[in-house]
Amino acid sequence: MLNNKFKTMKRIGITIILFFISLSIFAQLTIKGKILSEKGEPLVGANIIIEGTSLGTSSDIEGNFFFNNLKKSNYTIQISYVGYKNTKVLVEPDKAQDLLIQLEPLNFLSDEVIVTATRVNEKTPMAFININKATIEKNNKGNDIPYLLSLTPSLVETSEAGIGIGYTSMRIRGIDHTRINVTINGIPLNDAESQGVYWVDIPDLASSVQDIQIQRGVGASTNGAGAFGATINLKTESIHSEPYTEINSSYGSFNTIKNNIQVGSGLIKDHFCFDARISKLRSDGYIDYSDSDHESFFVSGTYYSDKALIKANIFKGKEKTGISWWGVPEDMLETNRTYNPAGEYIDIYGLPRYYKDQTDNYLQTHYQLISSLQLTKNIQFNMALHYTKGEGYYEQYKSDEDFADYGLPYILLSDTVYRIGARTLIFPDSTIRNSDIIRRKWMDNDFYGITYSANFDYGKTNTIIGGSWNKYDGNHYGKILWSEFGNNFTKDFQWYINSGIKTDFNIFGKLNYSIISNLNFYADIQYRNVNYKMEGIDDDLKILDQEHNYHFINPKAGLFYNINPKFDAYISYAIANREPTRSDFKNAVGDEQAMPKPETLYDLELGGNFKLPDYMLSVNFYYMDYKDQLVNTGQKSNVGYDIQTNVENSYRAGIEIMNTLKILDFFQWKFNLTLSQNKIKNFIEYSDYYGTDWNYLGNLPKELGETDISYSPNIIGSNVFTFNLFKKFEIDFITKYVGKQYFDNTSDKNRMLDPYLINNLLLTYTPNTRFTKKMSIYLQVNNILNAKYESNAYGGNWYENAASISNYQQAEEKSWSYYYPQAGINFMAGLSITF
């Protein structure tokens, strides 16, 4: 089903691979050795990389490894293995054979064991990328995590405020944040009801993250929300052996300020370690009234021994953000791109005003207690208890609201004198049905549970059994704070309340088996049970009472073939299932035909990696076939959630290419490119139709055949040129391209986001100083060519002048749309000092 451009890219990829294979015949050196434990026993699966190159491999079932066809030179190889100290070995050309490298065990259990159950390694047959601490620090310039991950394959980020701070989100392969499973230390981070992750609730989390793994496609079994196209696994700070104090301060465009202080005790008496961070982040935002005022802290304490680890984490975020989810009307993009309609009203004198407290406010606190125990040499057990408390509201000024929509009686007036501010009004006999009001919509929720895993490692066979039980208990309710005519309700009148209780249980088993030394078989199966119950009245006074129960089985299997240390290949097939969100169920109330169905994904992945000392190429093909996929319609609910609908048959197919090339000692080139097709096989559009005299004919169907899936660009790419002109001075020239995408499923040009190309420049200087352990000064200039672009939009259509109900498809189509413009040229400068 791939079109000509996929075939062309395939030929290009094969040509590149063959070209570099042909170059390798001129190399002359082979490095060969064995990795052993402190007792002289072979270590299977140790990671071995050659520093300063793209080359890496793993030890086989007898502990052996090799690199061949290398240029004659001195090399430093680095070996890592869970439970052992990282080891570096200098290899000289005349001593490159029959190396025996004995690793020294750690005198404490490594933090890495916390995430072994939900992560994959180099021999797992799937597309993934690891992002280490150095890369996180380099890219952590005050933006939320979707922007920190911007340069990873197939990812498109967007920001309501236009600068990557406040409400931000991402899509991977066109798949939105409600389908991306996110865990932190193996503990679910997705909101249980919406299934999305709201990074605004945990500002500056990246400053306390040690490393991140992104698995594209279905990925490995994990905890929490269904992984329906990508998995993001974050791990918080690892052990710091020495005490430290780190101060970070940044200032940029739109009065953006980010400050944090991080401290650590270092390892105390070989057993205890404590880390803490406090952060403050604020910005006016690019869009009018999209300001952010955020605070957060992170505290962690760990006990280490040679056989056990106990870690306690507490992290908290407090956010106050101007409401900006309505976007900018299409007809104002050229004249006033920063316009924000939220909170705008006309006062009693007929003058336009803006309600200053039109804000979103939320407080979220996470508690984690994590333990790991090395039961025997081959068996390791993990368990974590977690609790998250969330509470907050958003406040709105609403004009000309009908009292009946709030369950309030109309106000009957009989030649009554009424005072509003300094004005005195006399009403003749009348009934007041509408009024301006100020309201708050609240959320108050608790999320808690347990995760667990056991790892059985017996050389050729590695088995993991794990799972979790999690429960969400949340309330949604609304209050009226003020009304222009306020004598028909009591103070803080509550017009609705409803609750949601969701229980999520899963258990999974994973098997990695070395069939022969360079061929690995992977199998993974998960059972997941979800029960979700809603009760009460919603904001539109509809009764939500309903209950849903799902049983999902999600199998995965694949093969990984390590042809040699320079080239490997893999293939995998997986099935995933996912339940609808709260808003999907809400929107279907009163219409059984609209009740959403669960989704199923059949995911085929095929890829390979080619590595030379100064070059790395990764190519991954994917075909994701969906049954009853819930796609975004392009419209939003009255609280800013995307409205979705099931489509019976759809698919996403593409090729992902990653490339790293070190051209000179001071110049490195990295790029990634995704070419894809994202199609609904036969889309039926439902729209409102009106006759010639504006009489409503109904919400009627129109068959459109094969169309593009909403928010799914066919081309996504990024490019980074890195120059190390001086030893401590680095320049990165960064380019990101996103092709055209439609914000509904009709493939109509009137509802399309134009392609955009943006360029950023990052200058980093890290001088050596006498009084600090490390100092870093940076200047980042974003969108240096001042491109005007929109990264997201929503909208819809209707039809006018239909001749009759029997001839409605000849009507004239009309469209409406709102866009999210992003900032033009802007900057961020900062200083980081570590003592």
What are 572-588's pLDDT values in tens digits?
999 999 999 999 999 88
DSSP assignments along 548-615, one per residue: EEEEEEEEEEEEEEEEETTEEEEEEEEEEEEPPPHHHHHHTTT-GGGPPPPEEEEEEEEEEEEEETTE
pLDDT of residue 4: 54
- 198 vs 60, residue with greater confidence: 198
46-68 pLDDT, tens digit each: 888 888 776 778 888 778 888 87
The secondary element (H helix, E strand) that includes residue 21 is: helix 4-24
291 or 24: which leads in pLDDT = 291
Domains in the chain with CATH codes: 1-106 (2.60.40.1120), 244-834 (2.40.170.20)
Share of the chain above pLDDT 70, in %: 95
Residue 625 pLDDT > 90: yes
**So what's the pLDDT on residue 1?**
47
List, in sequence order, every residue forming a beta bridge with 806; answer none if it has no partner.
Answer: none
Q: Do residues 570 and 126 touch, judged by C-beta distance below 8 A?
A: yes
Tens digit of each residue's pLDDT (9 = 90 or more) over 325-378: 999 999 999 999 999 999 999 887 888 999 999 999 999 999 999 999 999 888
For residue 316, which amino acid is it? K
Q: What confidence score (pLDDT) does residue 239 get?
A: 85
* Percent of the chain whose pLDDT exceeds 90: 69
The reported pTM is 0.88
110 or 656, greater pLDDT: 656
Question: Tokens 């451009």, residue?
Answer: 5
Rounded to an integer, what distance in angstroms lies between the CA atom of residue 154 and that of residue 175?
10
624 has a pLDDT exceeding 80 = yes
**Cα dihedral angle (252, 253, 256, 261), rounded to 10 degrees?**
-10
Exposure letters 571-596 (e unless 16+ CB within 10 A, then b) = bbbbbbbbbbbbbbbbbbbeeeeeeb
Phi/psi at 408 (nearest 5 deg)?
-105, 150
| CA 519 vs CA 54, 512, 513, 561: distances in Å | 21, 10, 9, 5
For position 3, what pLDDT does the model report?
52
Confidence of residue 429 (pLDDT cuts 50, 70, 90): low
Q: Is 254 helix (H, G, I), strand (E, B) or coil?
A: helix
Residue range 810-831: mean pLDDT, rounded: 95
pLDDT given for residue 377 in this prediction: 85
Is pLDDT larger for residue 803 or for residue 16? 803
pLDDT value, residue 716: 98
CA distance 113 to 310: 12
Measured over the CA atoms of residue 210, residue 176, residue 557 and residue 370, the dihedral's sign is: positive
User: 726 exposed, middle or buried (CB, 10 Å; 0-12, 13-18, 19+)?
Assistant: exposed
Contact indicator for 171, 709 with CB cutoff of 8 Å: no
User: Is residue 570's pLDDT more than 90?
Assistant: yes
Predicted local confidence at residue 776, as pLDDT: 93
Adjacent-strand bridge partners of 547? 533
- 733: pLDDT confidence band, cut at 50, 70 and 90? very high
Query: Would you call 15 helix, strand, or coil by DSSP?
Result: helix
* Side-chain-facing half-sphere of 635: CA atoms under 13 Å: 17
